[in-house]
A and B are shown apart, each in its own frame.
Chain A
Amino acid sequence: MIAALRSFRDRLLGRGDAACTVPVFDGVLKPNHALDRATAWAGVSDPADMACDGKRLLVAAGERVLEIDPAEPAQPREVFHASGRITAIAAFAGGIAIGVEGLAVRIHGGRFDGTRWTSACGQPFKCVNAIAANGDTLLVCDASRHNGPEDWQRDLMERRSSGRIVRLDPASGQELLLAEKLAYPFGVAVEPDGSLLFPESWKHRVVRLAPGKHPEPVLENLPGYPSRLVPAQGGGFWLTVFACRTQLVEFILRERKYREIMMATIAPELWPAPQLRPPHSFLEPLQGGGIKQMGVLKPWAPPRSYGLVVRLDAGGRIRRSLHSRVDGSNHGVVAAAAIGQALFCLSVGADAVLRLDAEPAQGDGA
Chain B
Amino acid sequence: MAHLNETLTRIRYRIWPDHVVGEILSKPWMETAIPVLVLVATFAILSWLVPGFFTFAQLSIIAREGGELGFIVLGLSIVIMAGGVDLSVGSIFAVTNFIVLLLMHEYEWSAAPAVAVTILAGMALGAVNGILIGYLRLRAFLTTLITLIIFRAVYEIWTADHATAIAMSLPDSATWDFLGIGLIRGIPVNVWLFAAVALACHVLLTRLRPGWHLMAIGGSRRAAYNAGIAVRRTIALTYVASGGLTAIAAIFFGARLASVGGNIGVGMEVTALTAAVLGGITLGGGRGSVTKAIVGLAIVLIITNGMTAYSASGGAIRMTLAAILVAAAVIDIRWIKNRHRIISSVYVSPDYLYLPPPPSCEAKPGNAWAVNDTLRGVDVIGLGEVEGPEDVILDRNDNLYSGSRHGDIVRFLAPDYKRMEIFAHIGGQPLGLAFDREDNLNVCVGGMGLYQVSPAGEVRKLTDETNRSWTSVNDDSRLRLADDLDIADDGRIFFSEATRRYEMSEYAVDALESRPAGRIICHDPRTGSTRTVIDRLRFPNGISMCDDGQSFLFAQTSAASVSRYWFDGPKKGRIEVLIDNLPGYPDNINKASDGNYWVALVGMRGPALDLAMRMPGFRKRMTQRLPFDEWMFPNINNGCVFKINLEGKVLYSLWDPQGINHPMITSMREHKGWLYLGGLSNNRIGRYKLPESEADPAYVQYARRWGLPT
- Is A248 in contact with chain B by the CB < 8 A criterion? yes
Q: Are A287 and B629 in contact (CB under 8 A)?
A: yes
Any chain B CB within 8 A of the CB of A292? yes
Q: Are B628 and A288 in contact (CB under 8 A)?
A: yes
Q: With CB as the reference atom, state the residue of chain A lying closest to B655.
A: A282
When distances are taken between beta carbons in the complex, the residues of chain A under 8 Å from B607 are 265-267, 270, 283
The answer to whether B631 touches A248 (Cβ under 8 A) is: yes
Contact of B635 among A18, A255, A267, A284 (CB under 8 A): A284
Q: Could you tell me the distance between the alpha carbons of A289 and B508 in the complex, rounded to whole angstroms? A: 12
Residue of B508, B605, B611 with most partner-chain A CB within 10 A: B611
Report B600-640 CB contacts with A as 1/0, cut-off 8 Å. Answer: 00011111110110010010011011111111111111100
- B interface footprint on A149-178 (CB within 8 Å = 1, 0 otherwise): 000000000000000000000000000000
Identify which of B626, B633, B659 contacts A247 (C-beta below 8 A): B626
Return chain B residues, CB-CB under 8 Å to A19. 625
Q: Is the CB of B633 within 8 A of A288?
A: yes
- In the bound complex, do residue B622 and residue A282 qualify as a contact, i.e. CB atoms below 8 Å apart? no
The reply to whether B629 and A286 form a contact with Cβ atoms under 8 Å apart is no
Write out, one digit per residue, whether chain B residues 80-124 have a CB within 8 A of any chain A CB (1) or not (0): 000000000000000000000000000000000000000000000
- Please pick, from B2, B611, B629, B664, the residue contacting A292 in the complex, using a CB distance under 8 A: B664
Q: Which residue of A lies closest to B637 (CB)?
A: A292
Partner of B608, one of A18, A257, A272, A280: A272
Which of B606, B612, B663, B684 contacts A283 (CB under 8 A)? Answer: B606
Interface residue? A366 (CB, 8 A): no
- CB contact list, A11-49 vs B, under 8 A: 14, 18-20
How many angstroms from the CA of A88 to the CA of B215 in the assembled complex?
72
Q: Is there an interface contact between B637 and A290, defined as CB atoms closer than 8 Å? A: yes
Say yes or no: A20-B626 contact (C-beta < 8 A), given A266-B611, A283-B606, A294-B681: yes
Q: Which residue of A lies closest to B681 (CB)?
A: A293
Interface residues of B in 644-690 (CB under 8 A from A): 657-659, 663-664, 681-684
The listed residue (B387, B637, B657) touching A286 by CB distance below 8 A is: B637
A350 to chain B, nearest CB (A): 16
CB proximity to A under 8 Å, residues B536-592: none
A58 to B659, CA, bound (A): 37
Residue pair B630, A289 in contact (C-beta under 8 Å): yes
Asked whether, in the complex, the Cβ of B630 is within 8 Å of the Cβ of A302, the reply is yes
A285 interface residue (CB < 8 Å to B): yes
**B664 CB contacts on chain A under 8 angstroms:** 291-292
- Contact of A248 with B630 in the complex, beta carbons under 8 Å: yes
B615 pairs with A282, CB closer than 8 A:
no
For chain B, give the interface size range.
Answer: 35 or more
Q: Which label, helix, strand, loop or mixed, suits the secondary structure of the A interface?
A: loop
Which of B508, B606, B615, B657 meets A285, CB within 8 Å? B606
Bound-state Cα–Cα, A265 to B681, Å = 32
Q: Does A295 contact B (CB under 8 A)?
A: yes
The answer, yes or no, to whether A79 is at the interface (CB within 8 Å) is: no
CB of A261 closer than 8 Å to a CB of B: yes
Within 8 A of A (CB), among B497-523: 508
Distance (whole angstroms) from the CB of A67 to the closest CB of chain B: 34
Instruction: Report the Cα distance A235→B438, complex, angstroms.
Output: 79
Nearest chain A CB to B655 CB, angstrom units: 9
Q: Give B387's nearest chain A residue, CB to CB.
A: A294
Assuming A14-B625, A258-B612, is B663 touching A292 (CB within 8 A)?
A: yes
Write the nearest CB–CB distance from A336 to chain B, whole angstroms: 29
Question: In the complex, how many angstroms separate the beta carbon of A248 from the nearest chain B beta carbon?
Answer: 5
Contact status of A282 and B637, CB under 8 A, knowing A287-B632, A288-B630:
yes
B606 — which chain A residues lie within 8 A by C-beta? 270, 282-286
Q: How far is the CB of A56 from chain B (nearest CB, A)?
A: 36
User: Hey, which chain B residues are within 8 Å of A272, CB to CB?
Assistant: 608, 632
User: Which residue of B has the minimal Cβ distance to A19?
Assistant: B625
B512 nearest in chain A by CB position: A288
A251 on interface, CB distance cutoff 8 Å: yes
B630 touches A286 (CB 8 A): no
Give, as a whole number of angstroms, the nearest-CB distance from B661 to chain A: 8
Check A196 for interface membership: any CB of B closer than 8 A.
Answer: no
| A38 CB to nearest chain B CB (Å) | 23
- Closest-CB distance, B12 to chain A (whole angstroms): 15
A270 to B610, CA, bound (A): 12
Contacts of B604 in A (CB 8 A): 282-283
From the candidates B608, B622, B681, name the one contacting A266 in the complex (CB within 8 A). B608
Does A286 contact B632, Cβ atoms closer than 8 Å?
yes
- Decide if A294 touches B682 in the complex (CB within 8 Å): yes
Chain B residues, CB < 8 A from A289? 629-630
Known: A248-B632, A262-B611, A270-B608. A292 touches B625 (CB 8 A): no
Chain A residues closer than 8 Å to B603, beta-carbon distance: 282, 286
Q: Which residue of B lies closest to A285 (CB)?
A: B608
**Minimal Cβ-Cβ distance residue in A for B636:** A291
- The verdict on A287 contacting B684 (CB below 8 Å), with A261-B611, A266-B611 known, is no
Which residues in window 240-269 of A have CB below 8 A to B?
246-248, 251, 255, 257-258, 261-262, 265-267
Q: Does A112 contact B (CB under 8 A)?
A: no
Query: Contact check: which of A14, A270, A291 meets B637 at CB < 8 Å?
Result: A291
Q: Which of A265-313 contact B (CB under 8 A)?
A: 265-267, 270-272, 280, 282-295, 297, 301-302
Bound together, the chains give a CA A219 to CA B621 distance in angstroms of: 31
Chain B residue at smallest Cβ distance from A255: B618
Tell whether, in the assembled complex, residue A258 and residue B636 are in contact, meaning their CB atoms are under 8 Å apart.
no
Residues of B within 8 A of A14 (CB): 624-625
Q: Once the chains are docked, how many angstroms separate the CA of A302 from the CA of B627?
A: 11
Interface residues of A in 212-245 (CB under 8 A from B): none
Q: How far is B630's CA from A288's CA once the two chains are assembled, in angstroms?
A: 6
User: Known contacts A258-B615, A295-B682: does B633 contact A251 (CB below 8 Å)?
Assistant: no
A71 to chain B, nearest CB (A): 36
**Cross-chain contact B387 with A291 (CB below 8 angstroms):** no
- Given A261-B2, A294-B387, residue A286 in contact with residue B621 (CB < 8 A): no
Residues of the B chain whose Cβ atoms lie less than 8 Å from the Cβ of A271: 608
Instruction: Give the residues in chain A near B627, CB-CB below 8 Å.
Output: 247
Residues A302 and B608 in contact, CB atoms below 8 Å apart:
no
CA distance A282 to B664 in the complex (A): 12
Minimum distance in angstroms from B403 CB to a CB of chain A: 15
Residues in A whose Cβ lies below 8 Å from that of B633:
285-288, 290-291
Bound-complex Cα distance A284 to B621 (A): 21
A215 to B604, CA, bound (A): 47
| Contact among B625, B632, B658 for A20, CB-based, below 8 A | B625
Within the complex, the shortest CB–CB distance from B657 to chain A, in Å, comes to 8
Q: Which residues of A contact B508 (CB under 8 A)?
A: 288
Q: Which of A247, A257, A289, A295 has the most CB of B within 10 A?
A: A295
Residue of B nearest to A246 (CB): B630
A262 to B: closest C-beta gap in Å:
6
Q: Closest B-chain residue to A297, C-beta based?
A: B637
In the complex, the answer to whether A282 meets B638 with C-beta atoms within 8 Å is: yes
Give the docked Cα–Cα distance between A122 and B633 (Å). 47
Which residues from A are CB-within-8-Å of B657? 282
User: Would you give the shortest CB distance from B51 to chain A, in whole angstroms?
Assistant: 40
**Contact indicator B681/A286 (Cβ below 8 Å):** no
B624 (CB) vs chain A CBs: closest residue: A14
Q: Cα distance A272–B606 when bound, in Å?
A: 10
Q: Which residues of B contact A294 (CB under 8 A)?
A: 387, 681-683
- CB of A291 within 8 A of CB of B681, answer yes
Residue of A with least CB distance to B371: A282
Q: List 22 A-B contacts (CB under 8 A).
A: A14-B624, A20-B626, A247-B625, A248-B631, A248-B632, A251-B626, A251-B630, A265-B611, A267-B607, A272-B632, A282-B637, A285-B633, A286-B637, A288-B629, A289-B630, A292-B664, A293-B681, A294-B387, A294-B681, A295-B682, A295-B684, A302-B630
Q: Which residues of B are in contact with A by a Cβ distance under 8 Å? A: 2, 387, 508, 603-609, 611-612, 615, 618, 621-622, 624-638, 657-659, 663-664, 681-684
| 8 shortest interchain CB distances as A-B pairs | A289-B629, A282-B638, A294-B683, A292-B663, A282-B604, A285-B608, A247-B630, A286-B635
Given contacts A285-B633, A286-B603, 9 further A-B contacts (CB under 8 A): A255-B621, A282-B638, A282-B659, A283-B604, A284-B608, A286-B633, A289-B629, A294-B682, A295-B683
